[in-house]
Amino acid sequence: MTDSMVEAPPARVPDELTPHRRGWHGLRPYLPLVALAVAAVLPYSTLELPGVFEGPLNSPGTLQLLAVCLVFGGLAAGYDLLFGRTGMLSFGHALYFAAGVYGTDILVTRAGLPLWQAALLTIVGGTILAGLLGAVALRTAGIAFAMVTLAFAQVGAILVARDFGGLTGGEEGLPLDVSGLPAGLVGVANTVNLYWLALAYLALVVFVVHRVSGSPTGRVLAGLRDDERRIGVLGLDPYRFKLVAFTLAGGLAAGGGVVYCLIVGGASPHITSSELTLSLLVMVVLGGPGTRWGPVLGGVGYMYLDHRLTAFGSSDAVESLPAFLSRPLSQPLFVLGTVFILAVYFFPGGLASLRSRLGPLTRHLPARRTP
C-alpha cells in the first residue's frame, strides 16, 4: 500500500467552530435580556421552593426579599465602578445610599412633597453631595482617601443619630408617610410593583455601568486602576476622571436609596453605618471585582444569605444541635464570614471566575455518544 493510498485523518474542527458552540456564542448577547424577562414575569409564578423561600414566588414576603436583593445587587454594581473598575477603595459609599433613603423620607414625610419630586430632588442632591465630597477626598490617595471617605460617612451617621434639625427621627428612625405616595406603591397587595421598581433600578445601574466601562472614559478608568502615572504621562487628568466615577457612583447609590425607602417603608440609622460599605466591599469581592455580572451576583447572594440565615439560625434544626454548633450557626455574621473566607480561598476571582475555572473540567469530561 503506497502513501498516496493512505487517507489523511480528518482535520479536527476547533471547539469554537462546532455548530453547537456557534449557536451558543450567538445566543450569549441575548442572555441578559432573557434573564430580565424571566425576572419580570417571576411574580406571576406560584412555584414553591421549600427551604429557599418561606412561601411561593408570588407571595408578598418573597417578593419583598427579592426586591431588597435586587436593590443591593444594583448598589454593589455601582460600587464596583469605584472599586473594581477604577481602583478606588471608598469606606463611605453608604453615605450616598443613606442620603437617598433619608432624603426621600424627609421630603415626603416632613415636607409633604409628591414622590416624583422627592425622588428627583434626592437623586440630584445625592449626586451633588458625592461630587462635593469627592472633590475633597480625591485630593488624597490610597489609605488616606479611604480614611477621608470614612470620616465623611461617620459625620453623616452622627447627624442622623443626633436627629439633626428634628428631621431624621434619631435612633428610632423615620417611618415613611404613605398617604402622599401613589396608590400602586402602598399596601401588601402592591409589593409586586415595588419588586418591578427594584428590577428596573438594577437594570438601569447595570446598563449605565456597562456603557461607561465600554466608553473611552471607562478605558481611562481602567488605566487609572492599573497604572495611574501612565494616564498622567498621556496628558490626561486622573483627578477629573476619578471625580466623574465617584460622582456617578454616588448618584446611582442615591437612586438605590429612593427605591429601598419605598420597599422597607422608611429609614433607620443602620444604613448610615460603615458596616454597610464594608458589606458592599464583601459583595463585590465575593462576586468578582471588575467583572460584568460578578458584583450583581455577589450583592444578590449576600443579601439573600443575610436575610435567610437569620431565620435559619433561629430554626428548630439549629437549636437542636449541640451548643458548640448551635451557637455559632445561630449568628448570621459568623456563617457569612465563613462563606466569604471559603469563597475567597477557593475562588479568588469571585463567583464570576467559576466559568473559567470549571471550563477545563467540562472539556475533559467524556462526550456523550449519540446512537
pLDDT score at 19:
55
pLDDT score at 370:
44
Measured between alpha carbons, how far is 196 from 71 in angstroms, rounded to an integer? 11
**Which of the listed ranges 22-26, 31-35, 107-111, 347-351 does the model predict with the highest average pLDDT?**
107-111
Segment among 46-50, 224-228, 358-362 with least mean pLDDT: 358-362
**Residue 171 amino acid letter:** E
pLDDT score at 265:
93
Q: How confident is the model at residue 114 (pLDDT cuts 50, 70, 90)?
A: very high
**Rounded mean pLDDT, 280-286:** 92
Give, as one character, the DSSP assignment of residue 28. Answer: G
Residues above pLDDT 70, as percent of the chain:
87
pLDDT score of 364 more than 70? no
The label of the residue with cell 485630593 reads 139
Measured between alpha carbons, how far is 230 from 256 in angstroms, rounded to an integer? 34
pLDDT score at 340:
80
CA-to-CA separations, 142 to 90, 221, 244, 249, 335, in angstroms, rounded: 10, 16, 18, 18, 31
Radius of gyration for the chain, computed over Cα atoms and rounded to the nearest angstrom: 24
pLDDT score of 74 more than 90? yes
Q: What is the pLDDT of residues 31-47, one digit of tens each?
A: 888 888 999 999 998 88
pLDDT score at 21:
55
pLDDT score of 287 more than 60? yes
Q: How confident is the model at residue 13 (pLDDT cuts 50, 70, 90)?
A: very low
Per-residue cell: 319: 437549636
Query: What is the rounded (10 degree) CA torsion for 106, 76, 42, 28?
Result: 150
Average pLDDT, the chain: 86
Describe the crossing of helices 115-137 and 94-105 by its angle, rounded to 10 degrees: 150
pLDDT score at 266:
94
pLDDT score at 359:
56
pLDDT score at 357:
62
pLDDT score at 371:
45
**Residue 35 amino acid letter:** A
pLDDT score of 139 more than 80? yes
Measured between alpha carbons, how far is 106 from 277 in angstroms, rounded to an integer? 23
Segment among 62-71, 333-342, 351-360 with least mean pLDDT: 351-360
pLDDT score at 5:
47
Q: Give the contacts of 58 (CB within 8 A, at least 6 positions apart).
A: 42, 43, 44, 45, 46, 192
pLDDT score at 201:
97
pLDDT score at 4:
46
pLDDT score of 62 more than 60? yes
pLDDT score at 180:
83
**Residue 177 amino acid letter:** D
Residues above pLDDT 90, as percent of the chain:
57
Measured between alpha carbons, how far is 213 from 115 in angstroms, rounded to an integer? 31
Give, as one character, the DSSP assignment of residue 8. Answer: P
Per-residue cell: 51: 427551604
Measured between alpha carbons, how far is 101 from 268 in angstroms, rounded to an integer? 9
Q: How confident is the model at residue 26 (pLDDT cuts 50, 70, 90)?
A: low
Q: What is the pLDDT of residues 250-276, one digit of tens each?
A: 999 999 999 999 999 999 999 998 889
